[in-house]
Amino acid sequence: MNRKKITKAALSGLVAVTMVPAMAAPLVANAESESKSSIINVVFTDENGNNVGGGDQWVDADGDGVFKATELDLPEGYELNGGGDYFVKDGKFIISVKKINKGTIINFTFVGVNGESLGGGDVIVDKDGDGIFNSSEIASIIPEGYKNDSLLGDFFVSEFENSSNVIALKKIYNSTIVNVQFIDENGTVVGGGDYFVDEDGDGIFNYSELTLPEGYELIVTGDEFVDTEKTYEIVLNKEIEGTIINVVYVDEEGNNLGGGDFFVDPDDDGIANYSELDLPEGYELIVTGDFFVTPGKSYTITLHKITEEETAAATLVVRYVDQENGNEVVLEKTYDDQVGPVGETATYIEDVVVPEGYELVQDIEGIAADVEYGQTKVMYVFVTKTAQEPTQPGDEEEPNTPAEGTEESEQTDGTDTGVAMSLAGVFGTMSAALAGMVALLRRKQK
């Protein structure tokens, strides 16, 4: 081989080596992009239905076909107005968002019941941006030892902007303990105990000062004189919270599964969760998450039937059969201690049990068989009676003695003549065969 051929061979090898990574890299990158996520189209709308942005977005990073609204990139200055899970296959989605509001600053001036100044300051209210604030939002700037009794409830922010807002505060005095027992309209006790009341020390307290059991509301309101020796029995009414909606359940084939009216959205934010619904027994939700609540609206919800796993025993029957006696079953053993899911398989490994008085036709050490749960499998092991059966009393053979009145025809020395004659015949035959072999060898030598 000359120098040109050596150089050509080396260059060919170099080209082959450098081409492998170049071809493999795009394949790996493509595989990663296919499993990474899916593209969906999203349109974002505000609370009035106005389009505030959208477009194509990558979602479903784990590739399970479902994504959450929290995976989306929202328009700047907006936040989700709800949420939940969605199927990627639906393709195009309209997602409700609301404008982020950091609140409004309002200034308040506090005075006492006699008009004396108690200070004041700025406070941020209406952080949800709905234009309304509650008097509880100013609690953080109320001076210690005072309470607000003059400005209670919800108010429009616009009424307090750019104005001097004066609030009269009441001094808090040492309160008094009274005992209260709450009962419902049927007379059933639903709560109670000792409560601090009458913070201003005027000997009068209001029912609104009491902390009620959750889910109940006052029937009678107003003031009461303080009596520390008395137990106050106060009747409450069961409070109905949330929104009533009608639900119709159907299975995956559209068959009606029942339904009815349900209370949902207990916090009255206009959003309910499917988990708040009571489902028909034996069914489960296909779609989970939140949904918008419209009072009086009927919702059709598709459910999936829950199939319980059926279990059963796997049964193995081993029959020991005597073929020489008309296939008689002389022993049968049943094994059914393994239980599992129908359709799957159990494995039995058992010892051979040889019936008494029998022996195996074939030499086997054990029995192994696979049996489906819920099924019965029969196996046969062939046996035969043992050559020497146990003798019973009285079965012994009588000795071979001459009949009475007869004499032996020949006198012998104790040798069994039958055996001796047989041996003589064998030796005679062997001698004849040996003579023939000697004659044959002599011919060959000549």
Domain of 339, in residue numbers: 311-385
CA distance linking residue 384 with residue 387, whole number of Å: 9
Q: Identify whether 413 is part of a domain.
A: no
The Cα diameter of the chain in Å comes to 163
User: What was the pLDDT predicted at 240?
Assistant: 63
**And the tokens for 324?**
């020489």
Query: Do residue 197 and residue 227 come from a single domain?
Result: yes
Question: 249 - beta bridge partners?
Answer: 258, 301
Query: Do residue 296 and residue 327 come from a single domain?
Result: no
Domain C-terminal end among 337, 363, 385: 385
Structure confidence by residue, pLDDT tens digits, 187-202: 889 899 998 888 777 8
Q: What is the pLDDT along the chain (446 residues), one digit of tens a residue?
A: 444 444 444 444 444 434 444 344 444 444 444 444 788 899 999 888 899 899 988 888 888 889 888 889 999 878 888 878 888 887 788 899 887 777 888 889 999 888 888 888 888 888 777 888 898 888 888 888 888 888 888 888 888 887 778 988 888 776 788 999 999 888 889 899 998 888 777 889 999 889 888 878 888 888 999 898 899 999 988 776 678 889 999 999 999 998 888 888 877 788 889 998 999 988 889 888 888 888 778 899 999 888 767 788 999 999 999 988 888 999 999 999 999 888 899 999 999 999 999 999 888 888 999 999 989 998 989 999 987 654 444 444 444 444 443 344 333 344 343 333 333 444 444 444 444 444 444 444 44
Q: Identify whether 89 is part of a domain.
A: yes
Rounded to 5°, the CA angle 69-75-81 comes to: 45
Q: Identify whether 429 is part of a domain.
A: no
Task: Say if CB 376 and CB 332 are below 8 A apart.
Answer: no
CA distance linking residue 145 with residue 87, whole number of Å: 55
Q: What CATH number is associated with residue 346?
A: 2.60.40.4300
Q: Give the total number of structural domains in the chain.
A: 5
Domain C-terminal end among 171, 189, 214: 171
CA distance linking residue 149 with residue 167, whole number of Å: 9
pTM for the complete prediction?
0.26
